[in-house]
Structure 1
Amino acid sequence: MSAGARPAEAITPGLRASLGHRRAWIAIAAVLVAGAVLLVVLQGAVRPPGAPLASDNAAPDGAQALVRVLEAGGVEVEAVRSLDAAIDAGRGRATVFLHDDAGLLDRDRIRELAGSVDRIVVARPDFAALEVLAPGVRLAGGAPDGLDEAACTLAPAERAGGLSAGQQLLGIDDEAAAAGFEGCFASGDAFAVVAGPSPHGAEVVLVGSVTPFANATIDEAGNAALAIGLLGSGDRLVWYLPGPGDADAADAPTLGELMPGWASPLLVLLVLVTIAAGVRSGRRFGPLVFEDLPVDVPASETGEGRARLYARGSARGRALDQLRIATIRRLATMLRLPRAADVDAVAAAAAGATGLDAASVRTLLVDAEPHGDRDLVRLANELDDLERRTRAALSPDPARAAPPTTGRRP
């Protein structure tokens, strides 16, 4: 580079320009990240600290308030999460409180529990629990309002006097009534509490709803009196919430068993339709284009397109380099230089043939930098002049090969 030449202006976009072009995507990504963080925070804030009706759960759906009252009254409460632990702890006249919120216990396990303990209180029993513990007792919907009269001989229900709204009801058929099951807090022909002897020997109390036991509603109406009376009648209480280990994976239905009968033929039909659509879409009739490939593109169009790209990006240095490369290649051919000759050898040979200064020729071929369109045009003309002078010097007919004095190519 000559002493007075300035460095070429950088045209590569900087960090600020790159961020400016991607401003919209950055804003969208920031909103998504902020939304995800907010969702995680909210879920962590509203997520209950334990399982529903867990003895150590202080959330509205927990039962910590009832357990603390029972413990303050001298009842020993033992929380267990497995069937084996519940059976071991429930022996010896202990009351077992059962709430299978996820329906993990199958009929055999419920039957095993009922045959091993003396007294079971079940909150919101499911179909399996009703079938095993109280045949003939069925789910019967919900009570529209609170219930004000026990109307039964169960002492905790009589002391409670009434229950709050939100009670689920249980129906008793003639078979269950004949077996000794009695209902309390009637609403029509159904009851909020049902008590009676299990076929397996245990005394069973079924409470249709979790409302009398939950922290949020235990202080309403006679809920607390019913819960304390049912669970605090003895010295020991086993608080049993079935855990994942109580689920029998071998008895779990397969995906095929859960699917309705029409689903399998429909899936087969969908697969066949997808395959047919893929085959149909993959077919093509005739050539994709009428021209024989490869398509020939004139060199002039390629050169003009590249020139427009250089002009649009103000890449004067790259445009001049392309002109220099072509000039050096043609000069080396005219001067009979080997293909491995470097630019210094080409500049020296061209200077020797034309009588020009070797340093000036090298500056033109290598060092000079365009600082504007005017410099680019000037250097391009000088390259053209150098090439024509060299051709004229090497031509056997100087009069015919001499460069014209006018009409210089812009």
Structure 2
Amino acid sequence: MTSVDAAPAVTPTVRAFVRHRRTWIVLAAVLVLGALLVLTIQGTARGPGAPLAPDNPGAAGSKALVEVLRDRGVTVSEARSLGAALDAASSSATVLLYDEYGILDEARLSELAGAAERLVVVEPGFTALETLAPGVRFAGAASGPLDDVDCDLGPAERAGSLSDGQRLVTVDDVAADDGWQGCFRDGDFGFAVANGPGPGGADLTIVGATTVFTNETITRAGNAALAVGLTGASDELVWYLPGPGDADAAEAPTLGELTPGWVSPVMVLAIVVVVAAGIWQGRRFGPLVVERLPVHVPAGETSEGRARLYARSASRTHALDQLRIGTIRRIARMLRLPRSADVDQVTDAAARATGRDGASVHRLLASTLPAGDRELVELSNELARLESEVARTLDPRAGNDPRAASDTDPTGRRP
């Protein structure tokens, strides 16, 4: 490749880049602003803490209950792990357990119930009921506020009633024989609270819903009296909300166990079908075959199509670079310059051949930038005129005046 092929290309300015791609820039800005807006809305809609957390002042938190207990002299501590809850439970403290995501398994639930003397379980899951109170079952949601205490549990009797939004449980005969009783009956549907002995002999109370303890609903009906009575039964209260670290990693199901049995055969069948379709419809293996094109595209049409693309994208500098490269290559060929000749050598040779000033020829072939379409056309005409002058100087039939061609239009028409 000759050095004249490596003529310097002029890079479009930042302003031109932004103008040509303003549509995509606007779309990207809209997407970024939308994402920021969504994140802001989610951040403001999300509560300041975890549900039923003792330090959460939001509607779903329990900070109001914790502050009341502390005013009454109860020491409230938050356990952030099962080990901390077990250590605190061994000191005769009341333990409140709210396992929102059912993290604790049967072994950990039994260990906690065996270590605590008084355990309050809020909105238990299926595993918790089966482990801690085998005869207690879920019974749906309450039909409304409840005022039928129907038990001899002190905090329930002092509360007298509960607001709506409660969840119900039932107590079967086996559990009743073991000492379990239900409080706040909702007709024949079930009870909002159940109390009885735990697996390790602890005083276990099951509250079906978090409504009794949350900041938003604790002041309704007798919710506050029941919450304070259950959690303030001793001088210390351990507030335990299990986290991911309390889960047993060994007991966690694998991906294969979670995947239905039909998924693997279907995936294998899909892979086989894709491979077979690729072999059937794909190109056969073998040497490349040269084929004749069905149509012939004239070079003029190709150049005209590229010119339209440059015009549509306003790539004036790129279009001018292509014209300059072609002009330099043809002038170097006409002047019999070596392939190693650079732009400066071609410029000097063209200036000597045409009698033009070397600096003006260099500006025309390398440095002048078009500010608009009019200047681009003028520069392209100047390039054609320079090439014509070089050709005339080499034509023995032309006159000795190298500037004679400057009076002729590049198309061959005189003004």
Q: TM-score range by the shorter chain?
A: 0.7 to 0.9
Please name the residue that 1:226 is paired with: 226
Compared CA separation, residues 170 and 285, structure 1 to 2 (3 A): same
Deviations, residues 220-259 of structure 1 (Å, cap 9, x unaligned): 1110011111111222211111122211100111112122
What is aligned with 1:330?
Answer: 334
Provide the C-alpha distance between the structure 2 equivalents of 1:49 and 1:210, rounded to a whole number of angstroms. 17
Match of 2:184 in 1: 185
After superposing the two structures, state which structure 1 stretch, 255-264 or 373-382, moved more: 373-382
Q: CA deviation at 1:197?
A: 1.1
Residue 200 of structure 1 deviates from its aligned partner by 2.0
Distance 2:119 2:149 in 1: 20
Contact 1:99 1:125 in 2 (8 A): yes
Partner Cα separation in structure 2 for residue 121 and residue 205 of structure 1: 5
Q: Secondary structure at the match of 1:389?
A: coil
Distance verdict in 2 for CA 1:212–1:368, change over 3 Å? closer
TM-superposition CA deviations, 1:325-366 (whole Å, max 9, x none): 42442342xxxx876675489669x96xxxxxx745979976
Matched, 1:142 2:141: yes
Tell me the residue number matched to 2:128: 129
**Counterparts of 1:340 and 1:274 in 2: how far apart (Å)?**
54
Q: Within the alignment, does 1:38 sit opposite 2:37 as a pair?
A: yes
How far off is 1:270 after superposition? Answer: 2.7
SS in 2 for 1:211: helix
Counterpart residue number, 1:383: 390
Q: Quick check: 1:327–1:387 contact (8 Å CA) kept in 2?
A: no
Instruction: Give the direction of change, closer, same or farther, for the CA distance of 1:290–1:136 in structure 2 (3 Å limit).
Output: same
Contact 2:59 2:214 in 1 (8 A): yes
Q: Who wins on radius of gyration, i.e. which is larger?
A: 1
Distance 1:344 1:14 in 2: 26
Closer/same/farther in 2, CA of residues 268 and 171 from structure 1, 3 Å limit: farther
Letter in 2 for 1:32: L
CA shift in 2, pair 1:375/1:156, >3 Å: closer
Match of 1:98 in 2: 97
Name the residue aligned to 1:23.
22
Q: Is the 8 A contact 2:141 2:167 kept in 1?
A: yes
> What letter matches 1:221 in structure 2?
A
The secondary structure found in structure 2 opposite 1:101 is coil
SS for the counterpart of 2:115 is coil
Cα distance in 2 between the residues matched to 1:172 and 1:85: 32
Query: Deviations for 1:66-120, whole angstroms, at most 9, x for unmatched residues?
Result: 0110111111212112222212211243211111112111000111111112111
Structure 1: distance between partners of 2:364 and 2:81:
87
Q: Aligned partners of 1:288 and 1:101: how far apart in 2?
A: 65
Describe the superposition over 1:167-213 as per-residue Cα deviations: whole angstroms up to 9, x where unpaired.
01011111111111100111223110000112321111100001001
- Structure 2 residue 247 is matched with structure 1 residue 247: yes
Partner of 1:4: none
Secondary structure, counterpart of 1:265 in structure 2: helix
Task: Indicate if the aligned counterparts of 2:10 and 2:321 stay in contact, CA closer than 8 A.
Answer: no
Is the contact made by 2:92 and 2:116 (CA closer than 8 Å) also made in structure 1? Answer: yes
> Are the aligned partners of 1:148 and 1:162 in contact in 2 as well (CA < 8 Å)?
yes
Give, in whole Å, the separation in 1 of the partners of 2:134 and 2:102. 18
Report the Cα distance in structure 1 between the residues aligned to 2:411 and 2:173, rounded to whole angstroms.
114
Measured in 1, the distance between the counterparts of 2:348 and 2:381 equals 29
- 2-structure distance, mates of 1:243, 1:324: 74
Secondary structure of 1:115's match? helix
In 2, Cα distance between the equivalents of 1:311 and 1:58?
A: 64
Whether contact under 8 Å (2:331, 2:346) holds in the other structure is no
Q: Which amino acid in 2 is paired with 1:84?
A: G
Cα separation, partners in 2 of 1:390 and 1:338, compared to 1, 3 Å: farther
- Determine if contact 1:310/1:316 at 8 Å carries over to the other structure: no
Structure 1 letter corresponding to 2:101: A
Change (3 A) 1:287 1:195: same
Rounded to whole Å, the distance in 2 between the matches of 1:23 and 1:95 is 65
The corresponding residue for 1:403 is none
Q: Does the Cα contact within 8 Å between 1:347 and 1:361 map onto a contact in 2?
A: no
**Alpha-carbon displacement from aligned partner over 1:366-395 (angstroms, at most 9, x marks no partner):** 6767946765554444333222128999xx
CA distance 1:207–1:11, shift in 2 (3 Å) = same
Confirm or deny: 8 A CA contact 2:56 2:62 kept in the other structure: yes
Whether contact under 8 Å (1:310, 1:318) holds in the other structure is: no
Give unpaired runs (5+ residues) of structure 1.
Answer: 1-9, 352-357, 394-405
Q: Which runs of 5+ in 2 are unaligned?
A: 1-8, 366-376, 401-407
CA contact (8 A) 1:320 1:380 kept: no
Q: Which residue of 2 aligns with 1:5?
A: none
- Three-state SS of the structure 2 residue aligned to 1:196 is strand
What corresponds to 2:5 in structure 1? none
Q: Aligned partner of 1:80: which letter?
A: A
Deviation per CA, 1:23-74: give whole Å up to 9, x if none: 2211111111111112222222222222211111111111110011011111
Q: Distance in 1 between matches of 2:225 and 2:393?
A: 111
What TM-score, normalized by structure 2, do the two folds share? 0.78
Where do 1:6-405 residues align within 5 Å?
Answer: 13-187=12-186, 188-283=188-283, 291-292=291-292, 319=323, 322-323=326-327, 325-332=329-336, 342-343=345-346, 359-360=355-356, 371=378, 375=382, 378-389=385-396
Q: Secondary structure at the match of 1:238?
A: strand
8 Å CA contact 1:324–1:365 kept in 2: the answer is: no
Aligned-pair Cα RMSD in Å: 3.8
